[in-house]
């Protein structure tokens, strides 16, 4: 796919993490054409004004800022992206950027939706002892029900969306059999929660008339199996890394063994998939998307028609390189809701320069795979994951120990050199420095 010149960025910025906040913002802002006002909004300690926030939330008492950073090096479907991530854990952005950097020489990431993205709305019918006649009646009325459902969302249909299919399922529950109606709905660039619920509510009366049953729940499903995205990448064995006491071949085998455990054991899979969501949630929050819906959908999909397992798969290529794949449902929006009301969400979308919810979801899927690869690479290394994590976490520990201002970097550096990154040591160093001063 050819990318217009005005949409091209170069996210490969050597030493990006070493630059100051203002320098990093200038690099990103100059490439994506942020205005001085937009740059200033990112630098303010709370860019969400209270007047706007009051329209977003009941019982407002203030706002809760999160640090927002930019993951670099992402090459996805032949195009570079800066990826905004709102998260408090320092290792997450560093890990994603490193994984993306290592993937670039092999072409970066390819990412796509496995179907035309749709959301599912459910209507619950109860109160009949024999559902055979009701099911037969609904099957005969399928086309008329499709037409009626779309009457409740004319603007959505006008934008090329709407209900495309209706399915009927009989479910055996502890309260007897129930008939569940599934509406498959194309929602365009919105997440779709409100519109699919509106369609379900609109159609429920007609379903009651046709079946004699009682409608109960009428709401979307967050198990978005018709909105599943697949991203993949290959990491070269020449670049994946090694150490004096571990060969690259052993590191790759270790990654494969770690993935195999996650795919077979729910105890490991829960932590494995949580690592994937570290990156996905951070981008979702930065862009104003519902990370809770993404979490629910991802973990449900990991157990969909099987025992709970890994959302990713890995294999060794014939050349000995490592190939990773993620498949995950992503109900992502670039229109509606917080994506258009929160000032930072709008700026984040501009930084990424995405033109649709489909494009944003492709980026987010790639971030999830990158996050997972980075975690497995660290876990499978002879050094382990904790040393690097704690080194990046040292500044937070320094702050917890009472360090302020320039002393934060000094305390963090000393602890890293000593290999003793702890709150107790931070307090000792702060105490010593205060007495020297």
Q: Which residues are catalytically annotated?
A: 89, 274, 290, 389
Question: Greatest CA span in the chain, whole angstroms?
Answer: 86
Nearest to 121 by CA among 223, 227, 221, 216: 221
In the structure encoding, which two tokens stand for residue 427, read together?
Answer: 């307090």
Pairing of the two strands 228-235 and 322-329: antiparallel
Name every residue whose Cβ is closer than 8 Å to that of residue 347 and which is 6 or more positions away in sequence.
34, 38, 41, 42, 84
Residue 305 CA to residue 291 CA, distance in Å, equals 23
Do the beta carbons of residue 239 and residue 102 sit within 8 Å? yes
Residue 212: Cβ within 10 Å count? 12
Per the listing, tokens 């499709």 go with 146
Name every residue whose Cβ is closer than 8 Å to that of residue 356 and which is 6 or more positions away in sequence.
189, 334
Nearest to 110 by CA among 272, 263, 295, 324: 324
Beta strand ranges found along 119-201 (DSSP E): 119-126, 162-173, 176-186
Beta bridge partners of 327: 230
Residue 324 CA to residue 277 CA, distance in Å, equals 16
Residue 334 CA to residue 289 CA, distance in Å, equals 8
Q: In what order do the strands lie in the sheet with 322-329?
A: 79-86, 68-76, 109-113, 228-235, 322-329, 312-316
Residue 21: Cβ within 10 Å count? 10
Residue 123 CA to residue 244 CA, distance in Å, equals 60
Name every residue whose Cβ is closer than 8 Å to that of residue 299 and which is 6 or more positions away in sequence.
273, 308
Helix spans in 83-158 (H): 90-103, 132-140, 142-151, 154-158
């Amino acid at each position: 796919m050819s990318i217009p010149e005005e949409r091209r960025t170069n996210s490969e910025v050597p030493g990006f993490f070493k630059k100051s906040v203002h320098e990093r913002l200038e690099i990103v802002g100059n490439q994506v054409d942020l205005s001085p006002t937009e740059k200033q909004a990112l630098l303010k300690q709370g860019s969400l004004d209270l007047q706007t926030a009051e329209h977003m939330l009941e019982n407002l008492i203030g706002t809760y800022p999160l640090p927002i950073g930019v993951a670099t090096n992402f090459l996805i479907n032949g195009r570079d992206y800066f990826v905004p991530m709102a998260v408090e854990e320092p290792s997450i952005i560093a890990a994603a950027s490193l994984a993306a950097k290592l993937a670039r020489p092999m072409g970066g990431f390819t990412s796509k939706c496995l179907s035309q993205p749709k959301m599912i709305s459910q209507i619950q019918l109860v109160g009949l002892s024999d559902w055979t006649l009701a099911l037969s009646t609904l099957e005969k009325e399928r086309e008329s029900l499709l037409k009626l459902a779309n009457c409740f969302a004319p603007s959505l249909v006008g934008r090329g969306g709407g209900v495309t299919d209706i399915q009927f399922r009989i479910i055996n529950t502890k309260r007897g059999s129930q008939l569940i109606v599934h509406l498959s709905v194309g929602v365009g660039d919105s997440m779709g929660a409100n519109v699919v619920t509106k369609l379900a509510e609109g159609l429920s009366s007609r379903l009651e008339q046709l079946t004699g049953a009682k409608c109960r729940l009428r709401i979307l499903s967050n198990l978005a199996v018709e909105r599943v995205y697949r991203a993949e990448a290959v990491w070269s064995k020449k670049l994946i890394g090694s150490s004096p006491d571990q060969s690259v071949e052993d590191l790759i085998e270790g990654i494969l063994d770690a993935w195999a455990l996650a795919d077979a054991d729910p105890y490991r899979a829960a932590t494995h998939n949580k690592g994937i969501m570290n990156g996905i949630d951070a981008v979702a929050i930065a862009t104003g998307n519902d990370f809770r819906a993404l979490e629910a959908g991802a973990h449900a999909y990991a157990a969909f028609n099987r025992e709970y397992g890994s959302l990713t798969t890995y294999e060794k290529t014939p050349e000995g390189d490592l190939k990773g794949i993620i498949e995950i449902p992503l109900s992502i929006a670039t229109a509606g809701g917080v994506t258009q009301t929160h000032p930072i969400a709008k700026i984040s979308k501009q930084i990424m320069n995405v033109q649709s919810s489909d494009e944003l979801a492709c980026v987010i899927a790639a971030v999830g795979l990158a996050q997972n690869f980075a975690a497995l690479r660290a876990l499978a290394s002879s050094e382990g994951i904790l040393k690097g994590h704690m080194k990046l976490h040292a500044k937070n520990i320094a702050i917890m120990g009472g360090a302020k201002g320039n002393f934060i970097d000094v305390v963090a550096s000393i602890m890293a050199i000593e290999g003793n990154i702890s709150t107790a040591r931070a307090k000792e160093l702060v105490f010593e420095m205060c007495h020297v001063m």
